[in-house]
Amino acid sequence: DAGITQSPRYKITETGRQVTLMCHQTWSHSYMFWYRQDLGHGLRLIYYSAAADITDKGEVPDGYVVSRSKTENFPLTLESATRSQTSVYFCASSEDRDEETQYFGPGTRLLVL
Amino acid sequence: GDSVTQMEGPVTLSEEAFLTINCTYTATGYPSLFWYVQYPGEGLQLLLKATKADDKGSNKGFEATYRKETTSFHLEKGSVQVSDSAVYFCALSDLDDYKLSFGAGTTVTVRA
């Protein structure tokens, strides 16, 4: 199906482990974004990408790494997970002729023990 | 930097009641403004948007008007339904690189 998908939908890991969250979109949108959602904070931008091989930090990038070797994929890696990274993570993309409007994936719920 | 402040919830209403969620913003220039909705267990969906002052966005019975003089973008619906139960987020778009700044979200519960 066309759209934006995230995997896994749910993940439990332990402190110190590396975790990669996947995001895939079938629209060939140039812009892609990663957010985390925490109670009382709304959504906060972690990283974003304007095109393949172009990434930039958002509001809360520490402890995260991203890559964008292909337009359709934008994985987010937690290099050494911490309990404070327990959150719901959303990926989004925006189309080239209306970059302001973002389309969101269903989210990944991550629990770090 | 740009920021959005929206009314704290939770808000609980009866069906057919009037809903308003306040949203104010701080930004340099004239950003586009958005309302996104998140239904339980799902990602965010665009509800409506406005790109310039005095524009009114509308969708599914919801409306919001971009008020430059009061830096506000309040969301309203005249008669809510149980299916409107969700979390509503106000957001603005950075004009340079299309980043969105979100408010904290307002949880709305509509009871039959």
Model confidence pLDDT, tens digit, residues B38-56? 998 888 999 999 999 999 9
Per-chain mean pLDDT for chain A: 93
Q: Provide, as residue numbers in chain B, all residues whose Cβ is less than 8 Å from the Cβ of A44.
A: 102
A60 CA: distance to closest CA in chain B (Å) = 13
* Number of neighbours of residue B59 by Cβ within 10 angstroms: 14
User: Beta partners for A37?
Assistant: A43, A88
Q: Indicate whether A1 pLDDT > 60.
A: no
- Amino acid (one-letter) located at B92: L
The residue among B2, B5, B38, B44 with the most chain A CBs within 10 A of its CB, best to mutate, is B44
| pLDDT tops 90 at residue A85 | yes
- The DSSP bridge pattern shows strands B56-59 and A76-78 to be unpaired
**Whole-angstrom Cα distance, residue A22 to residue B30?**
34
B24-28, long-range: CB within 8 Å, 24+ apart, which pairs?
B24/B70, B24/B71, B24/B72, B24/B73, B25/B71, B25/B72, B25/B73, B25/B90, B25/B92, B26/B2, B26/B71, B27/B2, B27/B3, B27/B71, B27/B92, B28/B2
In the prediction, which pLDDT does B64 show? 98
How many other C-beta atoms lie within 10 A of the C-beta of residue B73?
29
Would you call A49 an interface residue with chain B, using a CB distance cutoff of 8 Å? no
**A56 is written with which tokens?**
């930039």
- CA-to-CA separations, A27 to A3, A5, A24, A32, B34, in angstroms, rounded: 7, 11, 9, 11, 22
Q: What is the percent of chain B with per-residue pLDDT over 70, rounded to a whole number?
A: 99
Look at B35 and A1; give whichever has higher pLDDT.
B35
